[in-house]
Chain A
Amino acid sequence: MEIDRDILLLMLRRMWMIRNFELKVMEVHSAGEFAGAAHPYIGEEAVAVGACAALEDTDYITGNHRSHGHPIAKGGRVDKAMAELYGRVDGYCKGKGGSMHLADYSIGILGESGILGSSVPVAVGAALAAHIRGDKFVSMAFFGDGASNQGALHESMNLASIWKLPVIFLCENNQYAVTTSYAETVAVDHVSDRAAAYNMPGMLVDGQDVVAMYEATSAAVARARAGEGPTLIEGLTYRFEEHSLGLGRVARGAYRDEAEIAEWRKRDPLDILEKTLITQGIATREECDAINAETVKEVEEATDFARNSPFPEPGDLFEDMWANPIPLP
């Protein structure tokens, strides 16, 4: 598959944006600039970026607690994302959602869910609307290997399959749910094997290779838009950092060995893409570095934006409960 240079460079930019966003989050979180959980996406960038590059703004996604990568991959704004992590009024959710609940309805990001598996049926519902109205958009549900054991996912795959809904079930298999290996919790070899039970294609993809992710997802999106139904894609990947910022201080004992981590770190998705671009003469080293540097700068500006944004006022506590407001009890 011949991929447009623009798309390749866009993917590189988004991957650097996620990487640099997460590095910044780790820095300011450990400096105590904001509290609460934050789940770095470092190491997994190619999965969301490749998948979302196959989507349009009019397509929908839902996600999970590891939520910074999905919106950035779909073209979301880092300043609003960062301000949300800082709990400020200019954040995506005006400070009401925080790290685990980013959303941008203007570009189809229906919201990340801290309850795992829970946002998968919601993505199916958006696709159901397309099916009923005859619209051409698709929806994509991101979930982890851990959440692949949730009943909600299995009900969703069955619903999407019987109604031939335009859904892409996108499993980010980073091989662990917090400290528990997926090999111990998933009864089949690969999450994608589960597609067979729901009569849909299951694709196992190298999640470190953004081009592979893009190609697989493009095929699934084409199938969905043609009315042929859902696809389950498993991006096999690895989380380079701790499950959640600060968790390393509380977990008792190691659950991944250093050799395994080192082995996977050698397969950095950014290195892999840059090597492809450079060896194929699509971009130069300098061009790649420039993209990296631009995203560093944008993240820096986003962080300043977040720091300078005011906190919500106490009265804001009562806003956004209802579309048709009712009196407070």
Chain B
Amino acid sequence: MAQTVFLEAINQAIQEEMRRDESVFILGEDIRRAIYGATADLLTEFGEKRVLDTPLSENGFFGAAIGASLVGMRPVVETLTSFMWVAMDQLISQAAKMRYMFGGQATLPVVFRASMFYGAGSAAHHSDRSYPMFMNMPGIKIVVPSNPADMKGLLKTAIRDDDPTIVFEDGTLFGMRGEVPENADLPGEELLVPFGEAKIVREGTDCTIVAIGGAVNHAIATSDQLAAEGISVEVIDPRTLVPFDKQAVLDSVEKTGRLVIADPAHKVCSAASEIASIVSEEGFWSLQAPIQKVASEQVHIPYSPALEKHVYPDVPKITAAVKRTLES
């Protein structure tokens, strides 16, 4: 199997879908020259009409993508999570609500690819991990891939899905290498990862870690380290938060009796909060210890590396949380 960098996986997904379906096009800022890397060479292959550099008008061009999707196009918008704030009206008032509000008449196959550049000194205005806010609002599917193969397969599924989707692309993973199967080796000769199917990344029996996005690698490292201490940790990557594969988590907690959730988003009303609430409501009798949330501290992202490194879930914090569940 080929070793592929996360960013290349994004590029492959877009390229394959643009080749397959003429209604797919991409728009965003500086994408023709691919300043964030994911859109390299698309202009040459697909031309100016399908690879659109936009002005700095997120509210305007998000809305234009939404409008184009209503009339049969499949737009892919490239943006940063932090720039979505200025386009919230289009995301919420239009993308999320239109179909329901119009009694099912509107179909919106639009994808927003939102990069999350945290952990690298970008400070408060460029480091958002905002997926929990969108989980709160019905109407948008939410994808958070944690490795190159899932990134490719989930993005392709998102482009084909007929509902509005935000793919949160974790910037801490952009350079990550991983195995991405060659199309020729796959059934149907393409990589499609379904929504709503969690992946059991490590099997274990003592404690379950549900980890999101970039936290998955930390959870895997934690699991590997604790294995040396004789602690068997199961790691689950939900991959999509809307829809959320709650059965996979409930089944795992039934087996292990313990749950740690590692979530790079802010702690309050995070994805971790929602997962904890599901397990408290529906898996309470499986639990042998209180659920532990390891999420970002409830402060803004500071610039100085001396401070920023304390904000996010990391291996020591996740390890400590697993151990707390085992104390009782």
> Which chain A residues have a beta carbon within 8 Å of chain B's beta carbons?
60, 62, 91-97, 101, 103-105, 110-111, 113, 115, 118-133, 139, 151-152, 155-156, 158-159, 162-163, 319-324, 326-327, 329
The total number of A-B Cβ pairs within 8 Å is: 161
CA distance A130 to B55 in the complex (A): 20
- Is A321 a contact partner of B60 (Cβ separation < 8 A)? no
Contacts of A62 in B (CB 8 A): 67
Interface string of B91-126 (1 = CB under 8 A from A): 001100011111111111100000000000000000
Q: Is the CB of A105 within 8 A of B105?
A: yes
Q: Which residue of chain B lies nearest to A320 when distances are taken between CB atoms in the complex?
A: B104
**Would you call A129 and B106 a contact (CB within 8 A)?**
no
Assign chain B's interface to a size class: 35 or more
- Rounded to whole Å, the gap between the CB of B215 and the closest CB of chain A is 21
Q: Which residues of B contact A124 (CB under 8 A)?
A: 60, 63-64, 67
A152 CA / B88 CA spacing, docked (Å) = 11
A127 and B70 CA atoms in complex are apart in Å by 11
Q: Which residues of B contact A (CB under 8 A)?
A: 25, 49-50, 52, 54-55, 57, 59-73, 75, 89-90, 93-94, 98-109, 138-139, 141, 161-163, 195-196, 242-244, 246, 278
B54 CB contacts on chain A under 8 angstroms = 159
Q: Are A158 and B106 in contact (CB under 8 A)?
A: no
Closest to B89 in A: A118
Cβ-defined contact, A159 with B55, below 8 A:
yes
- Residues of A close to B246: CB separation below 8 A: 329
Select the residue from A94, A101, A128, A163 with max chain B CB neighbours within 10 A.
A128
> Whole-angstrom distance from the CB of A120 to the nearest CB of chain B?
7
Chain A residue contacts of B63, Cβ below 8 A: 118, 120-122, 124-125, 152, 156
A153 to chain B, nearest CB (A): 9
| Listed residue (B49, B50, B196, B242) with the most chain A CB atoms within 10 angstroms of its CB | B49
User: What's the Cα separation between A228 and B75 when bound, in Å?
Assistant: 24
The answer, among B49, B59, B69, B243, for a CB contact under 8 Å with A125, is B69
Complex CA distance for A60 and B71, rounded to whole angstroms: 9
Query: Residue of B at shortest CB range from A94?
Result: B103
Other CB < 8 Å A-B pairs besides A121-B60, A324-B161, 5 of them? A92-B102, A122-B64, A126-B67, A323-B109, A329-B246
**Which residues of chain A have C-beta atoms less than 8 A from B93's C-beta?**
113, 115, 118
